[in-house]
C-alpha cells in the first residue's frame, strides 16, 4: 500500500513538469516572437515557426533554426523583436557637381598655374608649402617673354625665354568653408634678352629687373584637391640694368644708367591642385 502511494506522489510531481505549456498555447503563438525558458534556465528567443507533438521550432534572430523539446520548456511568453534600423540610403553622386565639403583641410602643398598670364606679364608656375596653419610659401617661375602685355610694353622684341624667379607668400583666411580668401605678396627677379633695329642697325641686349607685388583674391576648393583662384595683383618694378650692343660691333656695350621705377599689375585666374 505504501509503495502504491509513493508511486502516485511521484507521478503527480512529474506530470506538471512534462506539460508546463499546453498545445493550445503553442498553437496560438505560431508566427509570433516568443521567449522560451527551459527547465535548466537557458532561453531561446525568436519566431515560433512550427509545433509538433513533442517539440517546437524557433527561428532565431541570427537566422539559426532551433528545436526545443516541449518537455524542456518551463515557460513561454511573447516578446517584441528588437527593431533593426534600415541601412541609410546612399545619395547617388551628381556627376555635374563635385563634392564640396565644409571640412576640407588645407593641403600640405599645392601646385598652381596661371594661364591668364599669357595675356599679361607672362604665365606663372609655382609650388607652395604650408607653413603653420594657413600660410603658404611658394617658389615661382614667371615666363615674361610669353606675356602679350610684356612684349607690347617693352618697346622691342623680347626673347620668349625671358623669365623671372621669385618667392610668393600667401595667407588663407575667411570665406565660406572650404573656400577661402587669400592675400599675400611676392618678390621676383627677372632677366630679359632683347633685340631690335634702329637707325644705326640691328642690336641685341639684356636687362635685369626686380618686381614686388601684393595680391588679393578668392580661391574655390573642392574635395578632389582641384581649385581655382580669381584675384588681382599690383606692385612696383625697377630696372636694375639695361645693356645693349650692335650686332656688327658686339665689343662696344652701351648701358642705360637711369633706373626706371614703374607700376605694374593685373588680374589673376589660376588653377590649383592641393
| pLDDT tier at 162, thresholds 50, 70, 90 | very high
| pLDDT tier at 89, thresholds 50, 70, 90 | low
| pLDDT tier at 30, thresholds 50, 70, 90 | confident
d(Cα 66, Cα 44) in Å, to the nearest integer? 8
| Predicted local confidence at residue 20, as pLDDT | 63
pLDDT digits (tens, 9 = 90+) for 194-252: 999 988 899 999 999 999 999 999 999 998 999 999 999 999 999 899 998 999 998 98
Mean pLDDT (the chain) is: 84
d(Cα 9, Cα 28) in Å, to the nearest integer? 32
| Predicted local confidence at residue 83, as pLDDT | 46
**What is each CA distance from 144 to 33, 51, 132, 170, in whole angstroms?**
80, 91, 31, 21
pLDDT digits (tens, 9 = 90+) for 10-19: 444 444 434 4
| Predicted local confidence at residue 5, as pLDDT | 43
Given a cut of 50, whether residue 2 has pLDDT beyond it is no
Given a cut of 80, whether residue 188 has pLDDT beyond it is yes
| Predicted local confidence at residue 91, as pLDDT | 57
Across 98-104, average pLDDT: 55
Grid coordinates representing 174 are 575667411
Among 34-43, 114-123, 139-148, 211-220, the range scoring the smallest mean pLDDT is 34-43
d(Cα 122, Cα 143) in Å, to the nearest integer? 5
| Predicted local confidence at residue 64, as pLDDT | 86
Q: CB–CB of 79/65 below 8 Å?
A: no
| Predicted local confidence at residue 96, as pLDDT | 43
**Which residue's entry shows cell 527547465?**
39
Given a cut of 90, whether residue 270 has pLDDT beyond it is yes
pLDDT digits (tens, 9 = 90+) for 31-85: 888 888 888 888 888 888 888 888 899 888 888 888 888 888 888 888 764 444 4
Given a cut of 50, whether residue 99 has pLDDT beyond it is no
* Residues belonging to the chain: 274
Strand ranges across the sheet with 73-78: 65-69, 55-60, 43-51, 33-38, 73-78
- Domains of the chain plus CATH, in order, are 21-78 (2.30.30.100), 109-273 (2.40.160)
Whole-prediction pTM value? 0.60
| Predicted local confidence at residue 154, as pLDDT | 82
Among 61-70, 110-119, 123-132, the range scoring the smallest mean pLDDT is 61-70
Q: What does the buried/exposed string (b/e) look like for 231-266 if buried means 16 or more CB atoms within 10 Å of the residue's CB? A: bebebebebeebebebeeeeeeeeeeeeeeeeebeb
Residue 155 CB burial class (10 angstroms; 0-12, 13-18, ≥19): exposed
Across 131-150, average pLDDT: 94
| Predicted local confidence at residue 13, as pLDDT | 41
Amino acid at each position: 500500500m505504501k509503495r502504491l502511494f509513493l508511486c502516485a506522489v511521484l507521478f503527480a510531481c512529474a506530470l506538471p513538469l512534462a506539460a508546463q505549456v499546453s498545445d493550445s498555447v503553442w498553437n496560438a503563438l505560431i508566427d509570433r516572437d516568443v521567449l522560451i525558458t527551459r527547465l535548466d534556465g537557458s532561453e531561446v528567443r525568436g519566431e515560433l515557426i512550427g509545433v509538433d507533438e513533442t517539440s517546437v521550432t524557433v527561428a532565431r534572430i541570427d537566422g539559426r533554426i532551433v528545436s526545443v523539446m516541449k518537455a524542456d520548456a518551463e515557460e513561454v511568453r511573447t516578446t517584441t523583436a528588437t527593431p533593426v534600423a534600415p541601412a541609410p540610403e546612399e545619395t547617388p553622386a551628381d556627376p555635374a557637381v563635385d563634392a564640396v565639403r565644409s571640412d576640407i583641410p588645407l593641403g600640405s602643398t599645392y601646385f598652381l598655374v596661371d594661364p591668364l598670364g599669357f595675356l599679361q606679364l607672362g604665365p606663372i608656375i609655382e609650388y607652395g608649402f604650408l607653413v603653420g596653419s594657413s600660410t603658404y610659401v611658394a617658389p615661382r617661375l614667371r615666363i615674361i617673354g610669353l606675356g602679350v602685355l610684356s612684349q607690347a610694353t617693352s618697346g622691342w622684341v623680347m626673347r620668349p625665354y625671358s623669365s623671372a624667379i621669385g618667392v610668393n607668400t600667401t595667407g588663407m583666411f575667411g570665406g565660406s568653408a572650404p573656400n577661402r580668401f587669400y592675400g599675400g605678396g611676392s618678390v621676383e627677379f627677372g632677366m630679359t634678352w632683347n633685340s631690335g633695329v634702329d637707325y644705326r642697325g640691328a642690336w641685341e641686349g639684356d636687362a635685369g629687373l626686380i618686381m614686388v607685388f601684393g595680391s588679393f583674391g578668392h580661391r574655390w576648393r573642392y574635395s578632389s584637391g582641384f581649385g581655382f583662384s580669381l584675384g588681382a595683383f599690383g606692385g612696383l618694378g625697377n630696372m636694375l640694368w639695361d645693356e645693349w650692343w650692335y650686332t656688327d660691333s658686339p665689343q662696344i656695350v652701351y648701358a642705360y644708367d637711369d633706373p626706371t621705377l614703374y607700376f605694374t599689375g593685373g588680374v589673376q585666374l589660376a588653377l590649383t591642385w592641393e
